[in-house]
Amino acid sequence: MPDKEKKQILIVGQGLAGTMLSYQLFKKNIAHKVIDNPVAGSASRAAAGLINPIVVKRVNRTWQADVFQPYAHQIYQELEEFLSERFYYPLTVRKIYGKDDEAFWHHRYQKETLKHYISFTAKHDLPDGIRQPYGYGTIHPCARLDMASILKSYRQFLQRNNALLEVSFDDQDLKINQNGIEWQGNKASKVIFCRGSFDANSPFFKHLKWNNTKGELLDVTIPGLKLEYILSKGVFVMPIGDHQYKIGATYSHSWKSLEPSPEKQTELLNKWSNISDLPLSINRQLTGIRPTFTDRRPSYGFLDEHPQIGIFNGLGSRGGLMAPYLANAFANLINHSQS
């Protein structure tokens, strides 16, 4: 195998995990190509892109939030400048309180030392039309990541650099040898799978304890509402501009189809009605399968029996928060293995 092929990496999948890993490899000057043919059910392409370091229901920091949040903020702004495209929008989340929520938030604030993440004193200045009998608390710093824009912009970068193969990847065509792998004439030292829930069907990853969930959300227009922050009460209501919002999201551990569910649409609309009676129109209903494992922790690394094969997966609903840091950690591991 020529030296170039010995060093080259193949990444399968260009959702958020594949995109962030590719960017980190590019920064480290590690030769690679991305193989991707978008298909229905991709979590990244259906995701709202909410980045929130706090578990709203329990009012505690998400796993490794102190590490993930500042790094994600740095990398997304860096990538915006690199791609000359806007897709990262820092926002706050305003959690509409129930009767005893302010006292509970105060308790969690003191117990969890959350002064950098929440403001618990109730405020009552939400717009007309939003129910706020007990006010709201604020979570910060949060953000909206425009998934469609970041994936499209990075895809164009890959195309300009002849680093994208827009074909479907069949695992059965992968040849493993002592020096690396070969797939349809493409030789490399390693192949890394970043296909989200689709990797659960791969013969290489059947041993992993998958616990994927189907999520659904609504793209809506609310003419009577203008927000510059995210609302939260049972669902999130996220502004994306020009009276357009995303309302989500649902969680289903079993499903018969990737098609939007009328029952989930009703569930989301009912939760919206708990927030406001302002009329809305539904533009579309999105679905995706979140890749998660039973321990709810992401995974990256290489197979013991086939160290030529790697995986970066299990980011679940916190992909926007976790992907940048973990992609850098994985890229450092790859760089070390090739040095």
Same domain, 36 and 140: no
Residue 31 domain boundaries:
1-49+146-209+296-339
- How buried is residue 233: exposed, middle or buried, by Cβ count under 10 Å (0-12/13-18/19+)? buried
Q: How many domains does the chain have?
A: 3
Exposure on the CB side of residue 211, measured as CA atoms within 13 A: 10
**Exposure b/e, 145-167, CB count within 10 A at least 16 = b:** bbbebbbebbbebbeeeebbbee
**CATH code for the domain in which residue 238 is found:** 3.30.9.10
Choose the final residue of a domain: 144, 167, 189: 144
95 and 234 belong to one structural domain: no
d(CA 205, CA 193): 10
pLDDT, position 205:
97
Question: Do 260 and 122 belong to one domain?
Answer: no
Is the same domain home to 330 and 198? yes
What pLDDT, on a 0 to 100 scale, did the predictor assign at position 2? Answer: 39
List, for the chain, all residue ranges whose pLDDT scores fall below the cut of 50. Answer: 1-3
CATH number at residue 194: 3.50.50.60
Distance CA 47, CA 53 (A): 17
82 Cβ neighbours under 8 A, 6+ residues apart: 23
